[in-house]
Chain A
């Protein structure tokens, strides 16, 4: 056959194969991601990573009505469970936290959320930003390549503008088109998912091999009983110190970013609760950052409280035993986290002198 015919047939078959692949991909958890957004479920989802999951799920915010959006890093995501909060607050709760994020990235998530929530619902939107000192790591240290994980995902499929007209990250396409884009990506995402799904397999094999060689391997993860050994605690603290850098050189970028985000949310007419999350005492004693962070937040409090619809609250009343590692709460404590947070959202007086 002629070259024209050959290549036309190839293109035709490519279209057919692609369509079939999309159809086949829909067999994978077809109804899993239809409601709610909870980045804690991202590993199980088609999208494998939190940031990918977020970028493709934000379209689900595009409906009118009230809602609560949880922001922050992994401690916020682990501790503030949407279902538990929703039942107490009587409105949908979405978990948009991203593990390891800093104030800059949280600001980007906020931009994206507001871009997807219909304008007439902004007044009914409550943002709960669960903070701790780790989120104020400077951009220079956290993102040495100059791009956050959100930036990378945003740029990857050319679906987002990194410096939109308002100076923020915003989607290029209307929400329906984003859903179609997600559909078109499905076969590729499944390939990627397969690739990522090797991760727990490799971990298990590695653990097994190490144990075979006589090494004691402790799997650290969410647990009601796990207690860190002193050596493990020290490792965690050393790691945090190397991440955050010298206390004397801790810049204010993250804090300025928080203030800017507060202004931005307020300008949209939405409400923001800045929620200081608890840490185990042994952690606070071992590192100077928490104390400095508390000092800086106290100094900022008046400024933040002056912004309309912004509240500053503290989640406390938890002991060291309520955490399974240096920052994450145990499963058995989550209901209390939800209860206290719901109370603070409904009746918090953090900004009243």
Chain B
């Protein structure tokens, strides 16, 4: 079901109410499982479409049980991943016969993470093996089913087994604020940004077809890349707002996925602020074990930074590949891996040249900070071109002239973003003296103010749900 639909709102209302009413215990777990089934079922038109997903969930539990007996063996983990890759039709498994009917794999990518986390941690005896009902409640948990956040089983279990705290008025209000903001972003703001982006994308494709190397192609690439990055942040962030807000009302504190990523000063920091639960998962289960393996093999402490560079490269390449099954996502992975490992290498080298103190002084300088931010955000915006560009145009960009174009766009976007960062810093410094425009509201006013906001957002969502107005066409 669509997130800004009446069906979803009703479902959430029902879910929150029932979860708050039912005391912790088997009944509550069963309630969660039932809610999960209803929500997941809404994505399928027929039972057959859901069979692969169901099969994977069952296979996952079998793997968890097996792991609790024989430990978290690498072959077991490998099999789970292979089944996942086969169902998602990864290119490299094209030689295997695929399933010959239409099926839907929504949520599968995130289920993989939850299953692997359980397989590994249960196998290593870090957590006790969950019962089947608990497993279903966790793996298919409806708020996080579509796009995360990836919550750890221990946290989920602890929260679901605790009674829902009554919550102060302020807490209830803040949870509602989260949901309202998310709805406004999903139903209104990102409808506009998506619409704008599509038009720019079309023009970019046109310019690229006419000439790979003209000013308008370059300008349109910059515009498309930046706009998509903004759109993705607002869209993904909006979903998270809704999901976390609903979770909070139901008594679950889901982990955050974003922490003001636009403040990032380097690519490593960026990924601790963007899709946080994803990079955390990869840190836990790929980077750390990989580095430990390498450190044990090559026992030279002075080599650790360089081992880390390699470790980051591998981890982020895999992370990129996880995003999708075609070759473009392999490229995405390599771009991420290169970016992060080069970033780390740069840091290692700078520390070697300037010494720790010298490097710290440089990093503290304002101009350096803004420049780094510019480079970081520009690199990110261009890396996610992989997420929206189609295969034929990607081919054009991967040739020499295309790469030159991308490189120049990177330079330009970095500079522009650095200047913007500087300007915003100046502006916020000036505005910090201005008192907040809204007085703090007393508890009694909060329900009314919430109702007003809901109504305004509903009107806004309604306005853009209609045929897009011609004026946006006219701007172009």
Contact = CB atoms under 8 A, between A and B. Distances in A.
Contacts of B172: 3, 6-7
Interface string A187-216: 110111011101101110010000000000
B167 A3 contact: yes
A298 interface: no
A13 B173 CA distance: 14
Interface stretch (A14-22, A58-66, A120-128, A225-233): A14-22
B190 to A, nearest CB: 16
Contact of A14 (B167, B455, B466, B475): B455
Interface stretch (B112-120, B262-270, B456-464): B456-464
A17 B452 contact: yes
A192 B462 contact: yes
Given A3-B20, A17-B452, A17-B455, A195 B464 contact: yes
Contacts of A195: 463-464, 469
Interface core residue of B458, B466, B475 (most chain A CB under 10 Å): B466
A12 B470 CA distance: 37
A16 B20 CA distance: 27
Contacts of A188: 458-459, 462-463
B474 interface: yes
Interface in A44-58: 49, 52
A194 B463 CA distance: 9
A21 B455 CA distance: 9
Contacts of B469: 195-196, 198-199
Contacts of A194: 463
A10 interface: yes
A1 B20 CA distance: 15
A1 B443 contact: yes
B169 A1 contact: yes
Interface residues of A, number: 34
A2 interface: yes
A202 B474 contact: yes
Contacts of A202: 471, 474-475
B466 A192 contact: yes
Contact of B166 (A3, A156, A187, A199): A3
Interface of A: 1-3, 6-7, 9-14, 16-18, 21, 49, 52, 149, 152, 156, 187-188, 190-192, 194-196, 198-199, 201-203, 206
Given A156-B466, A195-B469, A199-B470, 5 more contacts: A6-B173, A187-B459, A188-B462, A192-B463, A199-B469
8 contacts: A3-B166, A3-B249, A49-B466, A156-B466, A191-B459, A191-B460, A192-B466, A199-B470
